Structure 1
């Protein structure tokens, strides 16, 4: 047990200081299903790092531009291109928010600037806002193809003249942003601009440039993308963001932030990447049985292949031979285990989880590390499908594994989860 503790400690230290394999470009969600939060003042690096590991959120809304931002540059002690780049390197995705001209009939007590009631002037203001939104997005490192989010606060859409001008403004803003090769997400209350744009699309309004995504505020506290009475079930089904709970003070990793909670499906949702084969075979098995001298089959071949990829000398034949025994003993010795020439579910768990380790995996993420996590969790005894998508079942399996290991009840696969898996703990 002492040796196992040393292995776990060494793994934890190595993984905790590991940097991302390569610099990531700042990005809005492209194909993603998961959770986002937005908050007025972008949090410190310390807070973002704590939330990255402990929270279910993978996307953060940041207030990047607009003449009506309450949290403008003067109130942002941390937000900068360097801050965005650092968070991107740690896996965060972003929703760059533009809060510019508001509806002519917007709350008169507010200091936010209002768009003109004259359509031609409102169009000119919208184009200027669009140029600013794109320019500032580029300043923060977001390349063409990313989305900027236009924030139109609640207004009384029963005021038809006011509503018509807002639609004119949105049309011109979207058109200009599209010309600049960016995408647009429209944020508004469900009962305000969201409902109006939805009605325009249902009516097949000609010549109107519709947003690519609809981000609707409907604080029903239900974490789904059902638009209820505001957003038709047949429209924007692949590109929705629901702000479902506002002004919630949450603490993760000891860091408290007041946020708005969001759930999103954009680009059709998270999609599995192709599984990497080893020795021209899938490393995903229906079960990972114990094998030993005399065993043969696909699982023996996979064992031999994984051992060879890990630097142990063995031949990939599908039949257990003397080299397999020697390699298994050497691997067990590395783990500090008893020198026996056989496998177990613990050995499969450790072997399948070997490889580069992300800072944290969470809901919506895809790719080879997710495949590897799911396989090793399955080998450890958790019920999980190997899909390559960190989905609800994977979240449940991770939480169950964390509980079994005595780890904090997070939804993420962080360095401590990987350290336990790579030590073969079940």
Structure 2
């Protein structure tokens, strides 16, 4: 049998029981898997005839997920709930469908000026998916000011359980007050801790089990956020007698969607109800609004292979300048729809179908840019779309997003040689600029001036 990862020989139960009675140093976990069939067994009362503890009553039923709550896609979480202006901009300009919001808890780091019932209602109406988070006491062996009690209490961890119930009660009340409907998942944030400490590990599991039970009693589904090596790994090792959360949110800085089986003992764990936090403290900009965020990929109720969250320019550089006509579909159409909108729409928020509305937008763009207004996206149209934007003077040594935009548009305009799109005005960029200027009848200097940008915006190609 196992006691939270410690293997005990099957021939030793009598010796183990004697050790418990004599020394009181070892306690059986009520959630550990059975040695014979891998299933969990309920803990027995400490003394013959003793009544079961109140928390040992049958677990409450798991609330049903609301209709439409199953989804998969990108989400972000930030310390503060963003303003309405940011949410409106990012709804179309970013790859994100969901947002993590910190409801409360003694260890919530930031005040939430924008987080109100009206704010929640507006996000729901705008089709944002909300990921509520509660940050209360942390594991017993950490250095946080407020910690879960690590007192075993005969192996029941009654104080830790009471604390888990208390936090769930508060979280459910806060969620209800903000208008977050029952059946939604509320995540408990428990930061990394020493999993080698039995009391720290077991008290955290006791706390989280009662967190789950109490949320269920109050109509909400339970979630746990933690590092994959901490509570996520420990939860995956519990048996059927332990009430697991309905979803997990695991921090693991790796490729998006990766499930680290090395630390997750149960192959079925996290299969369909998980959130992967795969990038931390990234400063990003969408729709002209910049924020410091963590990146997440969500698979709640279903699993999907993550689609690339590339920007318009990045996607356009990948698909090239393939001619696009009405009725086409695919990545090149997504890039087109994003670019023709002035990058107000992220590729993941586009339809990927060249429909009538897209054709009208292309014709309007071609007319404004002095191109043949055919609705066919040919090479001159691609060049103009890729060059669209600010037109600074660039020369050797220049760096940044404008250089990348210049490099992408030159790759579409110059037929001989490719420019590496790295944001650095180096030798290959200088060579392409000279070639382009020569075709314009300008001195072959390695400088992208206003005339160079204007020619690119008009879709001017390099003649053979």
The TM-score normalised by the length of structure 2 is 0.54
Q: What residue ranges of structure 1 are gaps of 5+ in the alignment? A: 1-26, 271-361, 364-377, 385-392
Q: Which residue of 1 aligns with 2:133?
A: 97
Structure 2 CA distance for partners of 1:228 and 1:405, relative to 1, 3 Å: same
Q: Are 1:31 and 2:70 counterparts?
A: yes
Structure 2 CA distance for partners of 1:129 and 1:156, relative to 1, 3 Å: same
Return the alpha-carbon distance in structure 2 between the equivalents of residues 78 and 418 of structure 1.
38
Q: Are 1:236 and 2:172 counterparts?
A: no
Shift of the alpha carbon at 1:269? 4.2
Structure 2 CA distance for partners of 1:156 and 1:168, relative to 1, 3 Å: same
Structure 2 CA distance for partners of 1:414 and 1:224, relative to 1, 3 Å: closer
Shift of the alpha carbon at 1:383? 3.0
Return the alpha-carbon distance in structure 2 between the equivalents of residues 132 and 123 of structure 1.
14
Shift of the alpha carbon at 1:55? 0.3
SS in 1 for 2:245: coil
Structure 2 CA distance for partners of 1:422 and 1:185, relative to 1, 3 Å: farther
Structure 2 CA distance for partners of 1:132 and 1:418, relative to 1, 3 Å: farther
Shift of the alpha carbon at 1:403? 3.8
Q: Are 1:182 and 2:119 counterparts?
A: no
Report if aligned partners of 2:338, 2:344 keep a CA contact under 8 Å in 1: yes
Name which of 143, 147, 159 aligns with 1:114: 147
Q: Are 1:58 and 2:97 counterparts?
A: yes
Q: Which residue of 2 aligns with 1:82?
A: 118
Return the alpha-carbon distance in structure 1 between the equivalents of residues 356 and 173 of structure 2.
43
Shift of the alpha carbon at 1:146? 0.8
SS in 2 for 1:49: helix
Quick check: which has more Rg, 1 or 2? 2
Name which of 178, 188, 204 aligns with 1:150: 188
Higher relative contact order by CA 8 Å / sep ≥ 6: 1 or 2?
Answer: 1
Q: Which residue of 2 aligns with 1:212?
A: 246
Name which of 350, 356, 380 aligns with 2:326: 380
Return the alpha-carbon distance in structure 2 between the equivalents of residues 101 and 86 of structure 1.
31
Q: What residue ranges of structure 2 are gaps of 5+ in the alignment? A: 1-65, 152-156, 310-323, 363-374, 376-464
CA offsets 1:365-421 (integer angstroms, 9 cap, x no match): xxxxxxxxxxxxx9824334xxxxxxxx6xx64224434676567224479x99942
Return the alpha-carbon distance in structure 2 between the equivalents of residues 406 and 214 of structure 1.
37
Structure 2 CA distance for partners of 1:407 and 1:132, relative to 1, 3 Å: closer
Q: Which residue of 2 aligns with 1:274?
A: none
Q: Which residue of 1 aligns with 2:360?
A: 423
Report if aligned partners of 2:212, 2:222 keep a CA contact under 8 Å in 1: yes
Return the alpha-carbon distance in structure 1 between the equivalents of residues 356 and 75 of structure 2.
27
Return the alpha-carbon distance in structure 1 between the equivalents of residues 198 and 107 of structure 2.
23
Structure 2 CA distance for partners of 1:166 and 1:381, relative to 1, 3 Å: same
Q: Which residue of 1 aligns with 2:260?
A: 227
CA offsets 1:250-287 (integer angstroms, 9 cap, x no match): 111111111110001111247xxxxxxxxxxxxxxxxx
Q: Which residue of 2 aligns with 1:197?
A: 235
